[in-house]
Amino acid sequence: MDYQFTIIVPLYNEEENLLRVEKELGNYLQKAPVRSCVLFVNDGSTDNSLQLVEEISARNKDFKFISFQENRGLSAAIKAGFDYAETPLIGYIDSDLQTDPEDFDLLLEHIGEYDLVTGLRANRKDSFKKNMSSLIANGIRRSFTHDGMDDTGCPLKVIKADYAKRIPMFKGLHRFLPAMILLQKGKIKQVPVRHYPRIAGKAKFHLLNRLVGPFVDCFAYLWMKSNYINYTVNRKNE
């Protein structure tokens, strides 16, 4: 198939959500503005998730999957999605569907001019503790990266593949995708999107890894920024 857009769906123990993911993303693929496919990345789930994604992929020609031998974390799952996608555009959505696949259209409207377009969760439907920890974590990250983004944790993004595949991912770097595009001299934009409460499964992040993890990762980002290799070839022989 001549796909233009791959939607990465990283997942870890999300068996309660996957049939809903199949339905919602299947509906979206039928009306997406560009020819699109779905790539599940099973992050070493210990429940029935792998069997479900195998079954979903078997009965839907536009759904594919890869599966880790063991749990490696969200950044690794996103990195694998970037590596295995074969389209010029790559998207990302969480398997809990707290964001709406149809809002990819809002991001795709701007991807021609920008190299990464990320959602900004409007009227977040999370708990007060989760919202506050995210607000603090985003403030810490923004003070280090100066990326101007208010909600890098929003699980709805569209990235040009040539930029995505050049990101040197490390654990926790999924929080710094806009900043990593800026290091490549790319252009970024945030667009308000809808947000819904989680209705099945369990959240994988808690107060500690929403605050301590991002703070520590900021120093890793600063090291990477100071050592990042970025070049442009303007002449070569034919």
- Rounded to two decimals, what is the model's pTM? 0.82
For the chain, strand residue ranges (E) read 5-11, 36-42, 63-67, 89-93, 116-121, 156-160, 188-193
Residues 6+ apart with CB under 8 A from 219: none
Calculate the dihedral angle through the C-alpha atoms of 81, 85, 89, 95, rounding to the nearest 10 degrees.
-40
pLDDT tens-digit profile, the chain (238 residues): 699 999 999 999 999 999 999 999 999 999 999 999 999 999 999 999 999 999 999 999 999 999 999 999 998 999 999 999 999 999 999 999 999 999 999 999 999 999 999 999 877 655 555 655 566 566 666 666 667 777 777 889 999 999 999 988 777 777 788 888 988 999 999 999 998 887 775 665 555 555 566 667 777 777 777 777 677 778 888 7
CA 66 to CA 50: how far, in whole Å? 9
Write out the H or E segment, with its range, that includes residue 162. helix 161-164
Q: Are 198 and 98 in contact (CB under 8 A)?
A: yes
Residue with tokens 């001549």: 2
Under CATH, which number does the domain 5-227 receive?
3.90.550.10
Domain ranges of the chain: 5-227
Of 11, 24, 92, 109, the C-alpha closest to 54 is: 11
CA 87 to CA 158: how far, in whole Å? 12
Structure tokens at 5: 């857009």
Q: If you ran DSSP here, which 8-state letter would residue 102 be given?
A: G
The amino acid that residue 201 corresponds to is: G
